[in-house]
Amino acid sequence: MIARYTRPAMGKIWSDENKYRSWLTVEAAASQALARFGLVPQAAADAIRDKGNFTVARIDEIEAEVRHDVIAFTTTVAEHIGNPEHSRWLHYGLTSTDVVDTAQALQIKEASALIRKGIVALAHTLKRRSIEYKHTPIIGRTHGVHAEPSTFGLKLLLWYAEVQRNLTRFDAAAEDLRIGKLSGAVGTFGHLKPEHEEAICSGLGLKPVPIATQVIQRDLHAAYICALAVLASTLDKIATEVRHLQRTEVREAEEFFSEKQKGSSAMPHKRNPITSEQISGLARVMRANAQVALENVALWHERDISHSSAERVILPDSTILADYLLAKTENLIAKLLVYPERMLKNLESTGGLIFSGQLLLDLAESGMSREDAYRLVQSHAMRSWKESLNFREEVAKDPAITARLAPEKLAHAFDYNRQLANVDAIFSRVLG
């Protein structure tokens, strides 16, 4: 991922230095565990742990010649160990993917901790701001058209609930990838035993995968990337709504705009939702990566490397983008400028048309057939639309309505607080 979208802590996890450091961590843990089983001399295991080292430049130099990154790595580490009687026990009983897949699990574990922190931070901010605007009226829109009253707090609370579901999905996918495998070239433990794998994984804070070929099966990785893609889609959903609310014709909320910020090189008045648009754009990359992850599930026989090259892109990029987008979205919501007066103005802009459903119910309750009530209310609504009339004033002139609804009853039909009486109950459902 390009530096523009990479936060330092996450970027460090996917650096070559940390990748090879993770490989070395696996090699050292394997040597120590195998020494306890008497398969590797303890002195050799200690030398691998204490003297084993590398430089990325030296690995790159050797790989340019041998065209195999793990061999280049083990050769470099052996050079640092020095003593051939010790270095010959490096990588004992292992195949390349034993190290690569297990070390990758360590990197994913690190990355997941940062992503989880970001999800929790976003959820906290959404919860706080939803309570802040719990009873702030706003028009609810369906198909982009004014429907019935809602509150801005409910909009934020809905996002909070969805982020909580994302956290549950992400935790499960991340836990499923907290696994290692050291079962050999086709997963049969041809050189080591299951108890050896269990001991090595235990030392690394991982679980041994119950069964593998040469590789850990990629349905697990696909589920992880898909969980990130769903998370990104939620962030896209939030950003898209902010973009709509910031439109000049709506202007019920907008992104924070600093004093020194510029919106356009040509139009000084512009205040554009650039953060929200960036979130929506990068979410597309995340969803595209999920497709690649799904393609990686089907491999030839006990292993091919068609997934490997793709994962070198999608695993770093997806976790880096998730980390970046979570921080961007949390900041977006934390600093979001909210305009309750404009919300109320927009809610009232149709002259009461949004209460047609309540009026319909009140007329039916008064004894009018639903069909007649619908026909009567709709005729006033359509006329109000076409002629830009005040719907509330028009129905108050109709004797067919006033004969059934007294003035106070008619006024009650146009009271948005009546339709928002259960907001607290919804909040209690979500927040407990």
| Pick from 178, 366, 360, 150: nearest CA to 241 | 150
CA distance 299 to 313: 18
- Token representation of residue 147: 């429907």
Orientation of helix 69-81 relative to helix 42-51, angle to 10° = 100
Given 15, 68, 112, 143, the catalytic residue:
143
Amino acid at 17: E
Q: What contacts 107, CB < 8 A, 6 or more positions away?
A: 13, 14, 18, 19, 22, 315
CA distance 275 to 272: 9
Q: What contacts 331, CB < 8 A, 6 or more positions away?
A: 275
**Is 240:307 a contact under the CB 8 Å cutoff?**
no
Taking only Cα atoms into account, the Rg of the chain, rounded to an integer number of angstroms, comes to 30
Query: What residues does 141 pair with on adjacent strands?
Result: 146
**Is 342:379 a contact under the CB 8 Å cutoff?**
no
User: How far is CA 195 from its chain centroid?
Assistant: 37
CA distance 112 to 17: 19
Active-site annotation holds for 143:
yes
Q: What contacts 31, CB < 8 A, 6 or more positions away?
A: 40, 44, 45, 48, 49, 89, 90, 92
DSSP 93: T
Task: Please report where in the chains the tokens 């050189």 appear, as a residue.
Answer: 191
Burial 99-126 (b: 16+ CB within 10 A, else e): bbbbbbbbbbbbbbebbeebbebbbebb
Given 15, 68, 264, 369, the catalytic residue:
264
Active-site annotation holds for 264:
yes
Catalytic residue numbers, as ranges:
143, 264
